[in-house]
Amino acid sequence: MERAKVGEVFHYFGKIGVAALRLTDGDLAVGDTVQIQGPTTNLTCTVESMQIDRTDVPRATKGQEVGVRVTGQVRERDLVYKVTSA
């Protein structure tokens, strides 16, 4: 399993289970597998939907901020990696 950093979490909406991500290093698309890691976080999930300003988008590029539904709690400043098969 290989991975590449794509960004970081800048906010987590606990009631709806959505992480706000800032893409600082790469692109992200629906269907990608991401790994979110931090001091107390280790979560792997598939991007099933992604939104920019409450509008569904299939893909986001470096420099954009997106909302992604996650399967567990994440924290601000957690790093986001896109997982690719080796």
**And the tokens for 56?**
């569904």
**Domain 2-84 top-level CATH class:** mainly beta
The CA dihedral of 80, 26, 34, 31, to the nearest 10 degrees, is 150
Q: Can you give the length of the chain in residues?
A: 86
| Residues 31-53: tens digit of each pLDDT | 999 999 999 999 999 999 999 99
Q: The tokens 């539904």 sit on which residue?
A: 69
| Residues 72-83: tens digit of each pLDDT | 999 999 999 999
Q: Does this model's pTM top 0.95? A: no
Q: Compute and round to an integer the Cα radius of gyration of the chain.
A: 11
Residues 6+ apart with CB under 8 A from 62: 6, 23, 24, 25, 26, 27
